[in-house]
Chains A and B, each alone.
Chain A
Amino acid sequence: MNSDDQLIFEFQQGSRDSFVELFERYREPIYGFFRRRLEHPARAEELAQECFLALLQNVQRYEPRAGFRSYLYGIAIHLVAAERRKAGREVAENEKLDSRPLEGNAAENNDAGIWVRNALGHLEQSEREILMLREYEQLSYGEIAAVLRMPVNTVRSRLFRARAALKNQLLPVK
């Protein structure tokens, strides 16, 4: 299987199929990224589209510095930040994470999921972001550091704090 960077290189050379493969690989992860961070599924889908369109637009400028995944999630983080800033209600967003049940598929709207969601909402924002990038997007410490532009050691210590805090919150359920 070709690596992401190889696929993006092929796409830069004009291979349509390479992009389709990349899109297939990251379609669900990117949608999940936005879905877990935003309230409305439609909005999440819209931003996931935006993310891929931004990739399409800027593909010729892409340079393999920190890896494709860092680049892609960097765009995604940027879009989420812009979305929150635009709404001007970052704090309110956290509250919604806390209180509101997920819309959408009822089967996935399980109790444990709501608990996790609520617990995540109580974390400090940068710690929550690191934890989510690690657990859901499966990024390495180095990739997270590149996406959030912070040292790897900071990523590790904050990830540890986030996990400890989350464990404390989830403990009663267990």
Chain B
Amino acid sequence: MERNAQHAFDAEEVMAYLDGELEAQRAAALAAHLVSCSECQEVAQGFRALSERMLSFEVEHPSARMNETVLAALDSGDSSRKAVPSISGQIKSWNWRRVFAPPYVWAFAGLGSVALLAVVIIPSFFRARQAAWLDTQRATGLSAPHDEVQSLRTEPLYAPKPGLTMPMNGRAAQASAGEGWAAPAPPPPSAGDELKAPETVGPMIVQTASLNILATNYDEASAAIEKLAAAHGGYVEKLDAKAQTGNARELSAALRIPTKQLDGFLSDVRKLGHVEEETRSNEEVSDQYVDLQARLKSARATEQRLVELLGTRTGKLEDVLEAERELARIRGEIESMQGQSTILVHRVNYATVQVNLSEEYRQVLGSGPISTGTKIRNAAVEGFTDLEGGAVALVVFLFAVGPSLLFWLAILLVPGWFLWKRFRLRAQR
């Protein structure tokens, strides 16, 4: 009976049982079986004897040197392999190989130096490109206005000096003695007055300002703008109000405000709501004005001489007619120049203020003016345009970056190959 039952457990299971690796239920059954089965007892005895015999393969104890080395490494915190004192010459060479031979050390070193190189080179490369771009811009004269803006910005932009006020009103700029450019203002170019080109002139500055305001109360603010302009002696040049369904209401107004009143007006306008953007710029037109005055002066002199000529001299009818025609032309020119001068002075006296007022929009439930179908179609068109733009951008990017990418890839390929080789070796192991 036991003999038959023995087949329920093979020798491997007996081994696993002795090793304590048999699952509990099976182990209990085998333990019970072992009591009565002599064959299985024999098998078990065989395994036990084998284990005992194997233990006769003894080894000596490690030397104390090992303790010292390991504990020294523990205490120094520097457990690098170099700290291990070598015991034999063979070990020395082994350590050397461990430290220097592995390709990945070189691979990492290569990667590191490439990264460093990139960090150093790329910014200077871009700087050089930017400088070259600026040079070409200057050469084509495109950057000239930009430069002017820059230089203007360094001036006290928001606080015009007293000398800046314009001579139109007949008031000479009361320049303080310390200001080098202080000069008698040109006489007002009102009709009939003798126009004299001033020898020197204070800077004539055309001021423009632009404000984007998010109105807290749109209705009040839009009404207030015109009133404010009038209160400061200015006027509305252009007014454009929009109230589209599904969109916030917008008002854009171009205003002309006396230069002297500009600061006061702006501070009043700012109170209308939250100022999202404010820009101011000054453009100097003194040279234009001086030039205009000089031309006007010479034209007037010519006119004078022609009038005298016609009054005092007699000659052929042809010549008289010729002189009359010349006189008429000169007078036309004078008028045109007077007009230009007036406009210039007006621009200097009246700053241009662009006010964009928008409403804090509250979304209203309900379908907008655009139907769903149109929206979908628009979205599709937009999506396609985006796709096209993206593809073009990708191609452009590839062309722009591709060559340098290939170059760096070629450089990185060598360390990368070393790494790959190492990983493959490890995987094979």
Contacts and interface: CB of A to CB of B under 8 A. Distances in A.
B152 interface: no
Interface residues of A, number: 53
The 7 nearest A-B residue pairs measured at CB: A112-B56, A31-B62, A105-B60, A56-B79, A116-B57, A35-B59, A160-B12
A113 interface: yes
A42 B88 contact: yes
Contact of A160 (B15, B62, B63, B429): B15
B97 A45 contact: no
Contacts, number: 125
B62 A27 contact: yes
B57 A43 contact: no
A83 to B, nearest CB: 8
A172 interface: no
Interface in A94-128: 102, 104-105, 108, 110, 112-113, 115-117, 120
B30 to A, nearest CB: 15
B54 A135 contact: yes
B53 A27 contact: no
Interface string A11-45: 00000100110010001100110011000111101
B73 A53 contact: yes
A49 interface: yes
B363 to A, nearest CB: 52
Q: Which of B57, B81, B84, B87 has the most CB of A within 10 A?
A: B57
B60 A104 contact: yes
B21 interface: yes
A45 B62 contact: yes
Interface string B103-128: 00000000000000000000000000
Given A28-B61, A135-B55, A163-B50, A53 B15 contact: no
Nearest to A131: B54
A160 B43 CA distance: 12
B46 A32 contact: no
Q: Which of B46, B66, B75 has the most CB of A within 10 A?
A: B66
Given A27-B62, A45-B66, A167 B57 contact: no
A66 interface: no
Contacts of B12: 156-157, 160
Contact of B60 (A41, A141, A166, A170): A41
A53 B84 contact: yes
Interface in A49-97: 49-50, 52-53, 56-57, 81, 83, 86
B102 to A, nearest CB: 11
Given A112-B56, A163-B15, A174-B53, 6 more contacts: A45-B66, A57-B80, A115-B56, A116-B57, A135-B54, A167-B46
B327 to A, nearest CB: 101
B87 A16 contact: no
A146 interface: no
Given A31-B61, A35-B60, A140-B21, A163 B74 contact: no
A48 B59 CA distance: 14
A50 B46 contact: no
A40 B60 CA distance: 12
Contacts of B51: 135
Contacts of B235: none
B38 interface: no
Contacts of B59: 31-32, 35-36, 102, 104, 108
Interface string B351-387: 0000000000000000000000000000000000000
B53 A112 contact: yes
Contact of B70 (A49, A157, A160): A49
Contacts of A35: 59-60
A19 B54 CA distance: 31
Contacts of A27: 62, 66-67
B19 A141 contact: yes
A10 interface: no
B16 interface: yes
Interface string B152-163: 000000000000
A43 B62 contact: no
Interface string B57-97: 11111110111011101110001110110111011001001
A174 to B, nearest CB: 8
B60 A156 contact: no
Interface in A127-174: 131, 134-136, 140-141, 156-157, 159-160, 163-164, 166-167, 170, 174
Contact of B50 (A28, A104, A166): A166
B56 A113 contact: yes
Nearest to B429: A81
Interface string B200-233: 0000000000000000000000000000000000
A142 to B, nearest CB: 8
Given A23-B71, A110-B56, A157-B12, A31 B66 contact: yes
Contact of A170 (B15, B53, B80, B97): B53
A128 to B, nearest CB: 11
16 contacts: A31-B62, A32-B59, A43-B87, A45-B62, A46-B87, A49-B66, A53-B84, A56-B79, A81-B429, A112-B56, A113-B57, A135-B54, A141-B19, A156-B15, A163-B47, A170-B53
A131 B54 CA distance: 10
Given A43-B91, A117-B57, A159-B15, A50 B81 contact: yes
